[in-house]
Amino acid sequence: MIVLKAAQQQLLGALQAVAGIVERRHTLPILANVLVRKTGDQIELTTSDLEIQVRTTATLGGDPGNFSTTVGARKLIDILRSMPGDQIVSLSASGSKLTLQGGKSRFTLQSLPAEDFPLVNEAADFGPAFSVPQKVLKGLIDQVHFAMAVHDIRYYLNGILFVAEGKALTLVATDGSRLALAAAQLEVDLPKQEVILPRKTVLELMRLLKDDKSTTEEGDAMIEMRFAGNQAKFSFSGMEFVTKLVEGKYPDYNRVIPKNHKNIITLGRQPLLSSLQRAAILTSEKFKGVRLNIEPGALKIASSNAEQEEAKEELEIDYDGPTIEVGFNVTYLMDALSNMGQEMVRLEMHDGSSAALITVPEQEGFKYVVMPMRI
């Protein structure tokens, strides 16, 4: 039976959309597979890691009738990538094998039964659905994702806080040493939600969501969201994305954000980032520390390492306040600046032992807090 027949790029695109969560090594071998369900000329592709499930539907040719199986997702993608984009490929089933054919190339792959594929047990009752432009959610995620913790024992930090209330959508991420917050005002009222999205979910949404250049004939590409007690469901661009939520109480982020810092400098984002990138070359591999000296008219950046090598940078600034000397992890500063697209940034300080606040003059919704370090 010919399960599907389509152009290589069409099949590859559908597979790549769902394969981001697939691990190459897994305790359950079948989780390395993609579930293929054929209903007429509609092909449904589903992947799962037991906590996240991604599904997309595509119209691909093939023999009439229904059929389902599972096959190695990465192997199939690797083979398709090696084929010409405009080539017509077919996937045929015979017994426990699937044959992928294109031109004079032929690949026979082992399959596993569809009924053995462990689908995520979806919540029976999701809350009310609401939609926001994909570009808005992607923009907010882009501005905060880098501040998520990685494998922190405080498991609730290994993700981002998602807060919807009124017309405001706010995302927050922190690893305990820095905090990023991005908020957007929407045109519609949102049902009140406060959930923690897991790190893997956040990274996968970043990959799949369309950017600000993506519009449909009706307008902006939208994403529909629904939440249950411990699950979230996202529907967008012909895809359905179900994920487990992180359980736990997120820290009170408002207490962390400095208020009323009086020493403020505004400068170009790219010149500051470039200076930090150069200074970072000669930082200690372990501590990645840089010293900032803020004085009237000048911002001086210095770094050194165990080999007694030094880097010094200086930027002209419009500042006439007190001299401040402070140390930071240079990676924390570069992460924030690299994920911003604005021309100017504002650095707000109190003294050399207090947290710094980085904001954007033309965007009130973004705040980045970074703790100082002793150098």
DSSP 171-233: EEEE-SSEEEEEEEEEEEEEEEEEEEEEHHHHHHHHHHS--TT-EETTEE-EEEEEE-SSEEE
Neighbours of 270 (CB within 10 A): 14
Neighbours of 193 (CB within 10 A): 17
Q: 3-class SS at 91?
A: strand
21-40 tens-digit pLDDT: 998 777 899 999 999 999 98
Closest CA to 200 of 47, 57, 319, 69: 47
- Arithmetic mean of pLDDT, 168-175: 97
Residues 367, 364: Cα–Cα separation, whole Å: 8
pTM across the whole model? 0.92
Q: Which residues contact 6 (CB under 8 A, 6 or more apart)?
A: 58, 60, 61, 88, 89
- Arithmetic mean of pLDDT, 304-317: 96
- Arithmetic mean of pLDDT, 63-84: 94
CA–chain centroid gap for 257, Å, is 23
Give the per-residue pLDDT at 364. 87
Give the per-residue pLDDT at 334. 98
Give the per-residue pLDDT at 177. 96
pLDDT averaged over every residue in the chain: 94
| Residue 5: pLDDT band with limits 50, 70, 90 | very high
The region of weakest confidence among 130-144, 152-166, 203-217 is 203-217
Residue 213, pLDDT > 80, answer: no
CA–chain centroid gap for 145, Å, is 6
Residues 275, 75: Cα–Cα separation, whole Å: 43
Residue 296, pLDDT > 90, answer: yes
| Residue 80: pLDDT band with limits 50, 70, 90 | very high
Residues 318, 266: Cα–Cα separation, whole Å: 7
Give the per-residue pLDDT at 210. 80
Percentage, residues of the chain above pLDDT 70: 98
Query: Which amino acid, 165?
Result: E
- Arithmetic mean of pLDDT, 356-371: 94
Dihedral through CA 196, CA 197, CA 200, CA 202, nearest 10? -130
Give the per-residue pLDDT at 60. 87
Give the per-residue pLDDT at 212. 57
Q: Which residues contact 255 (CB under 8 A, 6 or more apart)?
A: none
The region of weakest confidence among 82-86, 87-91, 96-100, 263-267 is 82-86
Residue 216, pLDDT > 80, answer: no
112-158 tens-digit pLDDT: 999 999 999 999 889 999 999 999 999 999 999 999 999 999 999 99
CB-based burial of residue 36 (10 Å sphere; 0-12 exposed, 13-18 middle, 19+ buried)?
Answer: buried
Give the per-residue pLDDT at 24. 75
Closest CA to 30 of 8, 55, 49: 49
Phi, psi of 203 (to 5 degrees): -65, -35
